[in-house]
Amino acid sequence: MTTYTKLNSQGNDFILVENNKCSNHLTVDDIKHYSSRDVIGCDQFFIINTSNQSHVLCDVYNQDGSKACQCGNGLRATMLFLYEKYNIKETNLIVCDFSYRAKMKDNAISIDMGQATYININNDYQNDKLKIIQSDLVVTIESINDKLTFSFIPLSIGNKHCVVFSDNCIKHKDEISSIIDQVFNKEMNIGFISNAKDFINKHKTTIDLIVNERGAGYTTSCGSGATAAAICMFKLYELEHECKVDSSCITIKQKGGILTVIKSYNPDSYELIGPSVIEGEGNLE
C-alpha cells in the first residue's frame, strides 16, 4: 500500500508520494489515473526520495502524465511536507538534475528559482498565416486569420514559459494559447499579464496574471509562471527606462492569491515566496 499526501499552494494542488517508502512502483498510467479529478485529482504529481534529506530528489508529472522540470508551487508544497514530517527547515530539492534551494521563511516558504534563460524563436516557422518578429527579447506575432497581434517574452527557468503582456491579451487568451502551441509544439506554459503598462509606468504595481500550464490547463496559481511573469516585467521595465528597477520585489496576483518574487543581482536570480498547506493523507488503491 502506498501512502500519499495531498497539498495545496493557493489552489494549485499536488499529490506527493515518497518513492523510498512505496510498496509499489508507479507507472505513468497510474499517475494519470490518480491525477484525474474523478479519482483523487491534482495539477501535478510529485514523487520524491527522502533518503538524503539535504538533497531531496523530485520527479514531477503534469496531470496528463507528461514530465515537468519545474513547479514553483509544488516545490513550496514539498518544502512544507519536509518541514512538517521531518522538521527540515532548509534543503535542496533536485528536479531534472537541477538544484533548488528551499527554506521556511517566517510564515511562508521560499524557493530559489535560479537564473532565467531567454529563448530565440525559430524563424523557420514563418508562414503566410503568421508573421513573427523578434526584437531583442520580445517576440511579436501577427495572426492573419485571427486578425490578432500580440507580444511576449519566451524564457526558461527549468521549464519553458511564454509571458504575454499585450493589451487585451486576457480576452484573447484561448486564441493566443493555440497559436503559441503551434509555434512551440505545445512545449510552453503560457502566462497572460493584464496590466503590464501599469507596472511599467509605476513598477510597484501588483501584477495580475493568468497561467495556462502545459499539461494541466488554466490553474488558480502557478509558481514558476509567477516567477516568469516577474522576470518579464523586470526586463520590460529596464528596457523601457534604461535602468534597473528601484525595488527588487514584485508581487503577483492570481486567482489563488498573492506570490512574491525577489530579484538578486550579479548574477540575476529570483526567489519565489508564498504559502502552502497540507490538505490530508490517504492511500493509493
Across the range 144-171, mean pLDDT stands at 93
Band the pLDDT of 242: cuts 50, 70, 90. Answer: low
Report pLDDT for 238.
81
* DSSP 8-state symbol, 44: E
Sequence-ordered list of residues with C-beta below 8 angstroms from that of 219, at least 6 positions apart, any chain:
11, 12, 43, 211, 213, 256
Domains, the chain, ordered by start = 2-113+275-284 (3.10.310.10), 117-265 (3.10.310.10)
Q: What is the spatial distance between Cα 139 and Cα 151, in angstroms, rounded to a whole number?
A: 6
In whole angstroms, give the CA distance from residue 236 to residue 152. Answer: 10
Of 11-15, 25-29, 115-119, 238-242, give the lowest mean pLDDT range.
238-242
Q: Band of the pLDDT at 163, cuts 50, 70, 90?
A: very high
Rounded Cα distance, 234 and 264, in Å: 11
Residue 203 has pLDDT above 80, yes or no: no
Q: Do the Cβ atoms of 63 and 213 come closer than 8 Å?
A: no
Query: Considering the chain, what percentage of its residues have pLDDT values greater than 90?
Result: 67
Q: At 239, is the secondary structure helix, strand, or coil?
A: helix
pLDDT at 23: 64
For the question of whether the overall pTM of this predicted structure is more than 0.75, the answer is yes
pLDDT for 270? 92
Question: What pLDDT score does 124 carry?
Answer: 61
Which grid coordinates are listed for 281?
A: 493523507
- What's the mean pLDDT in 212-223? 90
**Percent of the chain predicted with pLDDT > 70:** 95
**Predicted pLDDT at 161:** 96
Mean pLDDT of the chain: 90
User: Hey, what's the cell of 233?
Assistant: 516585467
Write the burial class of residue 73 (CB in 10 Å: 0-12 exposed, 13-18 middle, 19+ buried): buried
Whether the per-residue pLDDT at 159 is higher than 80: the answer is yes
